[in-house]
Amino acid sequence: MKSNLSIFAIVLFSAVLQTAFAGDLSNIRGVGMGRTINAVSRGIDALGINPANLAIPDQGNFNLNLAPTGIRVSTELLTYGLYKEYFTGVDSVGKRWAKRLEPVDIDNILSQMPELSKTRVEAEMMLGGASFQHPLVGGIGFAIIEHAGVVTTLSKDFFRMAAFGLEPAGSVYAFDGTDATAWWYCEYNLSYGRKLPVDIKFLKDLYAGMGIKFIRGYGISQTIKQKSSFGNYPDPANSTQYTLRGNIDFLTTHAGVDFMNENSHASATPFPDPIGKGTGFDVGLSGELINGVRVAVSVTDIGKITWDKNIIESYGGGSINITGDFNNLKDTMKSIVKGKTRPGNAFDTHLPTKLRLGFVTEASEIPGLKFLPGKFILAFDYLQGFNESLGNTTKPRFSLGTEYRVFHVLPLRTGLAFGGGDKVRWAFGFGLDLHYFSLDFATDNFGMFFIPNSFQTVSFSMGMKIRV
């Protein structure tokens, strides 16, 4: 039982702490506004969001981003309250000792899990980025952006098996719906936007833009299928004999750069040779209506990555019907669950294609808010994914965000986000915005500071920018 508990803890926290969903986390201003960014983004922040916004005049003609980074962890497996209760140890004589989980403790943890638990960790870093804007030339930007992530969906039976294993009284486990995807790739984004020479009665201006992305893929792992189930059944006539019955049917594909291969002697490097390559595109429009509302629409990450090196498939298939000693069956089960491996063929992965629609206006354009001192903006975004690839989701997301500057150098930001496969999130951010330099901080889930025992999402983003 003790070994099973250790396995249970390892599996649980591997899922919570080592999972990722790359998104818009390097856009620090947008994160603080609940990721409400389509009509708001300017300069280098517009890359990957809406290239048309590159050409809209903003503070300074030249922007240089200094490695903005965002990390976000969310899980349905357990709350922070459960984590504190069972996995932070117990006090004894001035020290904290590991808490031994009894069957009743594990039952309590499992009772609070959904049948299928989704866990994500989002990580994104802009290694370097710069943009230039001029009324005659338009706006041009270039950035190198790292994306890494894991999304797992785990059956509750996965944790039951890890905790209890094959039970002497008999047990049945089903893994339908279990899925895991992990990825690591880098995009080299070159985008251009400009004002269109058109005269439309209801528009003050209209900008258009396009971006091209050259993709270098470093790692991919994905579940192709998982429809496995099995159980052990005691023999009524012989207390030492059991029958292991079930169906094993799974297929996963993995590929990684050389230093990720356990049989390789290659050392880790910041820019390894890729095992996959691809191309992506962004397109966008942005126009201000005569009532002062700016409308922006874009489609981002149109394209795919082709993985053609170091591909390994793990698979298992067939029916199980084995009778034997209880301990021997446990060894057989471990071998069956592990499966076999074989070289795989090249395959494609679609980029996380999204439709973005956004609106932004200032308080001076809204009746009832004109009395506010300083500058207050209100924005709304609708995000619709077109696939479930690389952490993307087809569940729509809506967000409402604000930025308020009583003093121009001290922006305060907040926002609410709904949908996208997550619970309602309350975001918050702030910054120091000087003429030539800005420093920004944000969290996608500010509510975790007010309801710490029940929160299931941790998020933090920060970045610096130089303007000339």
Burial pattern 431-457, b for ≥16 Cβ within 10 A else e, equals bebeeeebebbbbbbbbbeeeeeebbb
Kindly list the domain boundaries of the chain, sorted by start residue: 2-77+113-467
Alpha-carbon gap, residue 411 to 30, rounded angstroms: 12
pLDDT tens-place string over residues 29-63 = 888 999 999 999 999 999 999 999 999 998 888 98
The residue among 358, 296, 294 whose CA lies nearest residue 33 is: 358
Q: The domain 2-77+113-467 is classified under which CATH number: 3.40.50, 2.40.160, 3.30.420, 2.40.30?
A: 2.40.160
pLDDT at site 380: 97
Task: Determine how many CB atoms are found less than 10 A away from the CB of residue 65.
Answer: 25
Q: Is 384 helix (H, G, I), strand (E, B) or coil?
A: strand
Alpha-carbon gap, residue 200 to 204, rounded angstroms: 8
The residue among 329, 299, 114, 371 whose CA lies nearest residue 230 is: 329
The residue among 355, 55, 60 whose CA lies nearest residue 208 is: 55
pTM, 2 dp: 0.83
The residue among 253, 251, 222 whose CA lies nearest residue 389 is: 222
pLDDT at site 458: 73
pLDDT at site 188: 96
The residue among 33, 35, 16 whose CA lies nearest residue 25 is: 35
CB distance 244 to 322 below 8 Å: yes
pLDDT at site 17: 35
pLDDT at site 15: 36
Identify the bridge partners of residue 425 per DSSP, sorted by sequence position.
Answer: 417
Phi-psi region of 158 (alpha: psi -120 to 50; beta: other; left: phi over 0): alpha
Find tokens 């981003």 and name the residue: 65
Residue 107 backbone dihedrals phi, psi, to 5 degrees: -60, -40
Which DSSP string corresponds to 396-447? -EEEEEEEEESSTTS-EEEEEEEETTEEEEEEEEEEEE-SSEEEEEEES-GG
Find tokens 């503070």 and name the residue: 59
Which pair of structure tokens corresponds to residue 350? 């679609």
pLDDT at site 336: 67
pLDDT at site 385: 95
Residue 229: half-sphere exposure toward Cβ, Cα within 13 Å:
9
The residue among 157, 196, 162 whose CA lies nearest residue 177 is: 157
Which DSSP string corresponds to 18-79? S-----STT-HHHHHTTS--TTT--GGGGTTT-GGGGGS--SSSEEEEEEEEEEEEEESS--
The residue among 92, 38, 35, 42 whose CA lies nearest residue 284 is: 38
State the helix-helix crossing angle for 2-17 and 156-164, rounded to 10 degrees: 150
Which pair of structure tokens corresponds to residue 360? 């932004």
pLDDT at site 53: 96
The residue among 243, 237, 276 whose CA lies nearest residue 257 is: 276
Which residues of the chain fall short of a pLDDT of 70? 1-23, 93-94, 239, 260-268, 270, 324-338, 447-456
Which DSSP string corresponds to 308-370? -SSEEEEEEEEEEEEEEEHHHHHHHHHHHHH-EEEE---EEEE---EEEEEEEEEGGGSTT-T
**233, containing H or E segment:** strand 229-235
pLDDT tens-place string over residues 238-263 = 767 778 788 888 899 989 887 766 66
